Structure 1
Amino acid sequence: MFADQQIKAILQEARTIAVVGLSDKPQRDSYRVAEYLQRQGYRIIPVNPTIECVLGERSYPSLAAVPGPVDIVDIFRRSEEVPPVVAEALEKKPRLIWLQRGVVSPQAAELAAAAGVPLVMDRCLKVEHGRLLG
């Protein structure tokens, strides 16, 4: 578990957040979280092979297809689907990997720890951003 101050520092310095599993449906949690983060000044990079564009940003079919660096990878996937997504995320060398509320993967945590990348599980990035920086 990472200390609030460590998470806060990364959130303050981050500029780009790749949102894996971002939906183009406004009623979905992934959309609401990404929209909030976009309003806070972050560049949102949608990662979803089934959509072309959301929140005014081009969507990419995978993290590997995202050009350039990513500061934070925010994952909206089922827990059992997370380890390969985290493995792919680590190739982008993010400063932080975030698994949304309800998403838990000890295997993904081990992968991130082995790579020296902080990973937060089972917490909402929107809620924590508001608590730490609001």
Structure 2
Amino acid sequence: MAYQNPSREEIKAILQSSDTIAVVGLSDNPERVSYAVSQAMQAKGYRIIPVNPNADTILGEKSYASLRDIPFPLDIVNVFRRSEHCAPVAEEAAAIGAKTLWLQLGIENEQAADIASAGGLNVIMNRCIKVEDSILLPQGK
């Protein structure tokens, strides 16, 4: 059976209960979608944790080489990587005890969804976190 995203109400509850979002593939280039989306989420009050081994800081936050290097709990792992690179990210997200694996718009990987689900994570695929947050929580959390 094909993967199905949580309902809109479930996604709203996930966003409402989340504060810290690690963004895998967050670019330090303001022209990139990952930067714009993360900047908007940061402006809404979420703490954005960059996961980019090629940057020291992004959006004023220390950047980490991998999820395993982050020394505190994460609510959401938001992924801006091509679909074929998502399974290892799901394994890391499960290993560190993240609560949700979120694959951005245009990114789907059934294996990653299975890995994350088996690890107890919520899984959202092919949805933009900024768009969902804007629709479901227009006034903020």
Q: TM-score, normalised by structure 2?
A: 0.92
Question: Which residue is 1:72 aligned to?
Answer: 76
Tell whether 2:96 aligns with 1:85: no
Separation of aligned partners in 2, 1:46 and 1:116: 23
Query: Unmatched 5+ residue regions in structure 2?
Result: none
1:112 counterpart = 2:104 = no
Structure 2 residue matching 1:24: 3-state secondary structure: coil
Structure 1 range deviating more: 87-96 or 77-86: 87-96
Q: Distance in 2 between matches of 1:22 and 1:50?
A: 10
Separation in structure 2 between the aligned mates of residue 109 and residue 90 of structure 1, nearest angstrom: 11
Q: Which residue of 1 aligns with 2:106?
A: 102
The Cα of 1:6 is off from its aligned counterpart by: 1.2
Offset at 1:116? Answer: 2.3
Q: How high is the TM-score relative to the length of structure 1?
A: 0.97
Deviation, structure 1 residue 117: 1.2
2:20 counterpart residue number: 16
In the TM superposition, what whole-angstrom CA distance separates every residue of 1:52-95 from its partner, at most 9, and x where no partner exists? 11100010000000011000000000100100011001112122
| TM superposition outliers: structure 1 runs of 4+ over 2 Å | none
Once the 2 structures are TM-superposed, how far is the Cα of residue 18 of structure 1 from its aligned partner?
A: 0.2
- The whole-number CA distance in structure 1 between the counterparts of 2:116 and 2:59 is 29
Deviation at 1:113, TM superposition (A): 1.7
Q: Which residue of 2 aligns with 1:55?
A: 59
In the TM superposition, residue 98 of structure 1 has moved relative to its aligned partner by: 0.3
State which drifts further: 83-92 or 110-119.
Answer: 110-119
How many residue pairs match? The answer is 134
Structure 1 counterpart of 2:67, which letter?
L
Tell me which residue corresponds to 2:48.
44
For residue 129 of structure 2, what is the amino acid of its counterpart? L
Aligned-residue sequence identity (percent) comes to 51
Q: Take 1:132 and 1:93, find their aligned partners in 2: how far apart are those partners?
A: 25
Matched letter for residue 21 of structure 1: G
- 1:5 and 1:94 map into 2 onto residues whose CA distance is 20
Secondary structure, aligned partner of 1:90: helix
